[in-house]
Amino acid sequence: MPRAPRADAAGHLYHVLNRANRRATIFRKQQDYEAFELVLAEALSKDEVELFSYCLMPNHWHLVLRPKCDGGMSRFVQWLTLTHTQRYNAQYEIVGEGHLYQGRYKSFPIQDDEHFLTVCRYVERNALAAGYCELPEDWRWGSLHRWKYGAAKEKALLSPWPIVRRSGWCQHVAAKLSDKEQKQLDFSVKRGSPFGEENWTESTARRFDLEMTMRPRGRPRKFKQRETADYPACQKGT
């Protein structure tokens, strides 16, 4: 099956996700998280993307970002994952023992309105949803903790948001997503389809040739042929 095209245009918002190969644990201890954040900072210093929110989990990570130039997201993520893999393998002396990441990273475009805030909530409450903390801002390896408790240098990793946070943002992040939000996000994560209101989603899918991401996987259903009594065969010469 051919791969779906990937949107990667300057000035657009995207969610990016990558998982460890076979969902293995890649962040085993504090130093592993710190090492990845150092690589993340180096990747951001190349000035191809703006980072708005992120969350590192034991076997995967989420980023919400905006490329400053066409193709900037792909170059950023490729450098990030390659450099992290090389340093990780050297640290654990496992060079040549298989892939660290499962393969191609996942991404989808985000509408620059309340839908952006919804995706950031989803990302920043990931550790809470998985039961790793009691409050989302307590998870050290994410943008919410960095935004609330970090020193000025630590906060500088994050770019100013294009949409203003709601007041009481931490409490808002802690609240569960609605069933509708969660269902739409799950579909976008799985298929790479744009996340936004219906008209924007359809126009964005057309613009970036993502129509196939809007359809569920699988072959179209086959319908039984009606009886010939209902639809008699055409006679020759008629």
| DSSP notation for 163-193 | SPPPTTHHHHHHSPPPHHHHHHHHHHHHH--
Comparing 60-64, 88-92, 171-175, the range with the smallest average pLDDT is 88-92
What is the pLDDT, as a whole number, of residue 94? 81
pLDDT band at 218, cuts 50/70/90?
A: low
Please give the helix or strand (H or E) that residue 236 lies within, else none.
none
> pLDDT tens across 118-141, in order?
999 999 999 999 999 999 999 999
| CB within 8 Å of 4: residues ≥ 6 apart | 191, 192, 210, 212, 213
> pLDDT tens across 71-81, in order?
999 999 999 99
Residues of the chain with pLDDT > 70, as a percent, come to 87
Contact yes or no for 42/18 (Cβ under 8 A):
no
Of 21, 22, 42, 39, nearest to 31 by C-alpha is 39
What is the pLDDT, as a whole number, of residue 93? 84
What is the pLDDT, as a whole number, of residue 237? 40
Alpha-helix residue ranges (DSSP H) falling in the chain: 30-45, 72-92, 114-124, 126-129, 143-149, 152-155, 169-174, 179-191, 198-207
Q: Is the pLDDT of residue 183 over 70?
A: yes
What is the pLDDT, as a whole number, of residue 23? 81
Over residues 24-40, the mean pLDDT reads 96
What is the pLDDT, as a whole number, of residue 225? 42
What is the pLDDT, as a whole number, of residue 98? 61
Q: What dihedral do alpha carbons 222, 216, 182, 127 form, nearest 10°?
A: 130
Mean pLDDT across the chain, nearest whole number? 89
Of 152, 171, 153, 169, nearest to 161 by C-alpha is 169
Over residues 11-32, the mean pLDDT reads 94
